[in-house]
Structure 1
Amino acid sequence: MTTLRAPHKLPDWLPYAGGHNTGIHGLRGLASAMVLFAHIIGGTAEHVYADNAAYLAVSEPLWNFGTFFVYLFFAISGFVILPSAFRYEPRDFATRRMLRIYPLFLVFSLIFIAGNAVTNLQPKLNDLPTILYALSFTNLLAGTEQLTPNAWSLTYEMMFYFLAGLGAFAITQRLRGLQLIMALASVAFLVLFPKSIYFVAGILVFVLYGRRFVEKLPARALLEVITALSLGYAASRAHFDFRAGELREPITLICMALTFLYFLFAVEKDSVTARLLSARWAQYLGTISYSLYLVHPYIYMPMRLVFQKLGLFSDNVWASVLLFGVVTFIVAIATSHVSYLLFEKLPVTLFRNWRSRDKALQKDLSI
C-alpha cells in the first residue's frame, strides 16, 4: 500500500520520524516470547505445582514480569499507530489495521467458539451476544469477555485504532466539532480503561523521538540499562490488573513512569536495546510476534495436559518446567510461523494482488 500525503500539514507536535525501527521490531518479538514465558511459569504454578511453596515463591515475580510485557505492546502501538493514522487516508488506514489484526483473530476465535460449543467448558461464553460483542471488538463497552485467550488486549488495540484514525482525520481536515468529540472520547477511554495509559506513553515517546530529545542526553546507554533493570524489578513486584484503587499504589505509578523512561531510550536507533535485538532471532520473533502472542495458548494448554498425562511433571520441579518450556516454545514457534504465513502474510498478499488487478481494470476501462 502506498503512502498518501495528508490533506493538510501535519501538526507541529507530531514530527515525522518514520522508517523501520530495529529496537521496536525486536521488542515486539521479545514481548510475545515473555508472555509465553509468563504462561509457562504461571500456568505450572497454578495448575501443576500449586502445593509447592518454594516454587510458588520463585515463580510469582517471574510470572508478574512476563505478563507486564502486554503493556509494552500498548506502548509500541502508541509509538507506531498515531503517525500511521496521519500518513494514510482513513479508508487505507482502517484497511491496513483490519488486514493486520482480523484474519488471525477471526480464525482462532472461531476455533475457540467451536471447541467451547462442543465441550461447554465455559458456558457463559457460548452466549450469542457475547460472541458477537467479541467478534466486533465491542466487548469492553458491553462488559463481556473476549473469547480466544489473550485477545482481550486486541479490543484495546482496536479501540485505540478507532480513536487514532478518527482523531487524525479530524485534525487534518480541521473539523473542530469532530476534534472536540474525539478528544472527549479519548479522555473517556483513558478514564474508563486505565490500561490505555500505555498508548499515551507511546505517543509521548514518539513526539520526543521525532524531536531528537534523547540524543541531547549524556550517558544514554548507562541510563537505558539502569532504567531497564529498575523496570524489570518493578514489573516483577506486582500483577498489574489496573483494578479500582490500583492506580493509587506507588508500585503501579513507578512501573508506569519507568516504562515511559525505558521506552524513551529503547526506541533510539543506536540504543542498547536496538543493538541487542538486531540479532536475526529477535527480528524473526518480531515478524511472527502477533501470531506467537495469539497462537501460543492453543499450544501451551494442550501441551501441559499431555505432560500431566504422561507424568512428566516430576518432583524435580525446575527440570520438569525447563523441559516443558523448551518443548512448548519450539512447538509454539513452529505453529506461529505457519500461522504467520497463512493468516497474516497471505491475506495482505491476496489483497494487494486484488487491488493491483482492480486498478489495472479501471485503467483499461478508462481508455
Structure 2
Amino acid sequence: MSIPPSGQPATLRFARIQQLRMIGAILVIAAHAFADGAKYLHAGSRLSILSQTHLGVNLSFVISGFIICYTARGRERDWRLFLRRRLVRVVPLYWLLTILLFAIVMIRPELTKGTNLLSPLLLARSLSFTTFLSGASPLIYVGWTLEYEMLFYLLATLAMSRLERPWHVIPIVMASGVVGIALLDATIGVGMTGIRAITLDFTAGILLAYWFTEGRLPPRPATAVLVGFGVAFAVAVIAGEGLSMAVVPIATALVALAATRDRRGPMRSTVGRLLAAGGGATYSIYLTQVFTVSAMGKLAARFAPGLPLALFALLTVIVTVLAGLLVHRAIEKPLMRLLRPYSSPKPEAVQLSPAQAASSSG
C-alpha cells in the first residue's frame, strides 16, 4: 500500500494549504473586527464587505474536507484512530477556553450585555457541541462552525466503520442533505444558507482529495455535489443570498491550486513560509479571537473613538494573531503532547474491514 494512495510521500506537508489556512483565519478575524468595530466606533469602511463574504470560513471547511479525506485514506484508515485524532485535536482547547470564558463572565457578569452567557445549560450545550439544536450560539461564538465540523466527523466515523467505500458515500449523503435543506428553504424558509455552503465546502474538499491522490473524480459523488450546488445556488439567488454560495467554488479553486503547487515543489517565498508556519496555530488563533476582538473594540471605544475602522481591523488582526500564537505555544502544544498517547496508532487495536484489508495488501 502506498501512503497516500497516489504514491506521494507521506511526509508531504502541504505548505501552501497551511498558508491558505492562515489566510482564512485572518479573513475571519478581519470580518469580525469590521463588524465589532462598526458597533464600537460607530464607523464604516468600504472594506466592511469582508464581513459579508465568509471566504475565510469557506476556505477552512474545504481544507478540512481535503485533509480529513487525504489522511483517512492514507494513515487513518481505522475509524477508531480517525475519531480519536479528531477529538484530541478539537476538544481540549475548545473546552478549556469555553470554561475560561464562562468563569470570566461569572466574575464580571456586566460583560454579558444582557445575554444569558451565565446559563449552566448553555455551558453544557457548548461543551457537548449541541447548541445548534436549540438555535442558540455557543459561549465561544465561533464554535458554531466546530459543531458542524463535529457532525461531519461523526458522519465520517460512522461511514468508515460500516462501509467499504465511505469516501464515495459521504459526499453523496451530504449533497443530498444540501438539496433537502435548500428545498425546505424554498418552501418554508428555514434560512440555512450558511449551513448549505459549509456542507458543500466540506464535500468539495473530499472530492479534491480524490482528484489529488487518484488524478480523477469519482463520477457519482462529483455529480451529486454539482447537483447540490446548483440547487442550493438557485435557491440562494432567489432569496438574495447568492454571494454566500458563490464563494464555495472560489474557495474550492484556491485549495485545488494550493494542493497542486504543493505537489510540484516546495515553497521558497519567505513570506509564504511564515504564513505556512502560522498555519499550524490557526485553531488557537481562531478561538482566541473571541477574547481579543471584543477587548480591542472596548479599548478603542474608550481610548480612540475616532480610530478609522480599517486601521482598527488591521490592529485587531495583528493582536489576535500574536495572542493566538502565544496560546498555541503555551497551551495547545503542551496539551497535544500530553494527549499524544490517545491519538497515536495502536496496531494491536486496528481492525480493518475485509475490503480495507484487501486494498491495503495491494
For the criterion TM > 0.5, the same-fold answer is: yes
Structure 1 residue 112: deviation in Å?
Answer: 2.1
Structure 1 residue 95: deviation in Å?
Answer: 1.6
- Note if contact 1:23-1:268 (Cα within 8 Å) is conserved in structure 2: no
- Note if contact 2:284-2:328 (Cα within 8 Å) is conserved in structure 1: yes
Q: Tell me which residue corresponds to 1:107.
A: 96
Structure 1 residue 24: deviation in Å?
Answer: 0.8
- Note if contact 1:23-1:275 (Cα within 8 Å) is conserved in structure 2: no
1:336 equivalenced with 2:315 (yes/no):
no
Q: Tell me which residue corresponds to 1:351.
A: 339
Which residue identity lines up with residue 317 of structure 1 in the other structure? P
Structure 1 residue 187: deviation in Å?
Answer: 4.0
Q: CA offsets, 1:244-292, max 9 Å, x none?
A: 9536455444332333333322321358996668723202220211111
Q: Tell me which residue corresponds to 1:164.
A: 156
Q: Tell me which residue corresponds to 2:360.
A: none
Q: Tell me which residue corresponds to 1:309.
A: 302
1:263 equivalenced with 2:255 (yes/no):
yes
Which residue identity lines up with residue 40 of structure 1 in the other structure? A
Q: Tell me which residue corresponds to 1:233.
A: none
Give the whole-Å Cα distance in 2 for the aligned partners of 1:104 and 1:247: 38
Structure 1 residue 68: deviation in Å?
Answer: 2.2
Q: Tell me which residue corresponds to 2:210.
A: 207
Q: Tell me which residue corresponds to 1:229.
A: none
Structure 1 residue 45: deviation in Å?
Answer: 2.0
Which residue identity lines up with residue 107 of structure 1 in the other structure? L
Aligned pair partner of 2:48 in 50, 60, 73: 60
Which residue identity lines up with residue 153 of structure 1 in the other structure? T
Tell me the secondary structure at the aligned position of residue 116 of structure 2: helix
Gaps of 5+ in 1: 215-241, 360-367
Which residue identity lines up with residue 121 of structure 2 in the other structure? P
Q: Tell me which residue corresponds to 2:38.
A: 45
Relative to structure 1, is the Cα distance of residues 197 and 276 closer, same or farther in structure 2, using a 3 angstrom cutoff? Answer: farther
Aligned pair partner of 1:197 in 182, 195, 200: 200
Which range is displaced more, 41-50 or 247-256? Answer: 247-256
- Note if contact 2:19-2:276 (Cα within 8 Å) is conserved in structure 1: yes
1:297 equivalenced with 2:282 (yes/no):
no
Tell me the secondary structure at the aligned position of residue 145 of structure 1: coil
- Note if contact 2:102-2:139 (Cα within 8 Å) is conserved in structure 1: yes
Structure 1 residue 355: deviation in Å?
Answer: 8.7
Tell me the secondary structure at the aligned position of residue 141 of structure 2: coil
Once the two structures are superposed, the pairs formed by residues 175-254 of structure 1 within 5 Å of their partners are 187-188=176-177, 191-192=180-181, 193-195=195-197, 196-212=199-215, 245-246=235-236, 248=238, 249=240, 250-254=242-246
Give the whole-Å Cα distance in 1 for the aligned partners of 2:23 and 2:30: 10
Relative to structure 1, is the Cα distance of residues 73 and 144 closer, same or farther in structure 2, using a 3 angstrom cutoff? Answer: same
Aligned pair partner of 1:23 in 16, 22, 38: 16
Tell me the secondary structure at the aligned position of residue 260 of structure 2: coil
Give the whole-Å Cα distance in 2 for the aligned partners of 1:140 and 1:272: 42
Gaps of 5+ in 2: 182-194, 218-231, 348-362
Q: Tell me which residue corresponds to 1:83.
A: 70
Which residue identity lines up with residue 23 of structure 2 in the other structure? L
Larger radius of gyration: 1
Which residue identity lines up with residue 86 of structure 2 in the other structure? R
Which residue identity lines up with residue 83 of structure 1 in the other structure? Y
Relative to structure 1, is the Cα distance of residues 313 and 273 closer, same or farther in structure 2, using a 3 angstrom cutoff? Answer: farther
Tell me the secondary structure at the aligned position of residue 144 of structure 1: coil
Give the whole-Å Cα distance in 2 for the aligned partners of 1:162 and 1:354: 18
Give the whole-Å Cα distance in 2 for the aligned partners of 1:201 and 1:77: 10
Relative to structure 1, is the Cα distance of residues 267 and 63 closer, same or farther in structure 2, using a 3 angstrom cutoff? Answer: same
Relative to structure 1, is the Cα distance of residues 276 and 171 closer, same or farther in structure 2, using a 3 angstrom cutoff? Answer: farther
Give the whole-Å Cα distance in 2 for the aligned partners of 1:180 and 1:339: 37
- Note if contact 1:75-1:199 (Cα within 8 Å) is conserved in structure 2: yes
1:74 equivalenced with 2:61 (yes/no):
yes
Which residue identity lines up with residue 45 of structure 1 in the other structure? A
Which residue identity lines up with residue 194 of structure 1 in the other structure? R
Relative to structure 1, is the Cα distance of residues 262 and 184 closer, same or farther in structure 2, using a 3 angstrom cutoff? Answer: closer
Q: What count of residue pairs does the alignment treat as equivalent?
A: 307
Relative to structure 1, is the Cα distance of residues 131 and 279 closer, same or farther in structure 2, using a 3 angstrom cutoff? Answer: same
Q: Tell me which residue corresponds to 1:93.
A: 82
Give the whole-Å Cα distance in 2 for the aligned partners of 1:194 and 1:125: 28
TM-score by length of 2: 0.71
Which residue identity lines up with residue 60 of structure 1 in the other structure? S
Which residue identity lines up with residue 29 of structure 1 in the other structure? M
The Cα RMSD (Å) is 3.8
- Note if contact 2:84-2:342 (Cα within 8 Å) is conserved in structure 1: no
1:144 equivalenced with 2:133 (yes/no):
no
Which range is displaced more, 113-122 or 72-81? Answer: 113-122
Tell me the secondary structure at the aligned position of residue 339 of structure 2: helix
Q: CA offsets, 1:183-227, max 9 Å, x none?
A: 75884477444131110111111111223369xxxxxxxxxxxxx
Q: Percent identity?
A: 24
- Note if contact 1:77-1:199 (Cα within 8 Å) is conserved in structure 2: yes
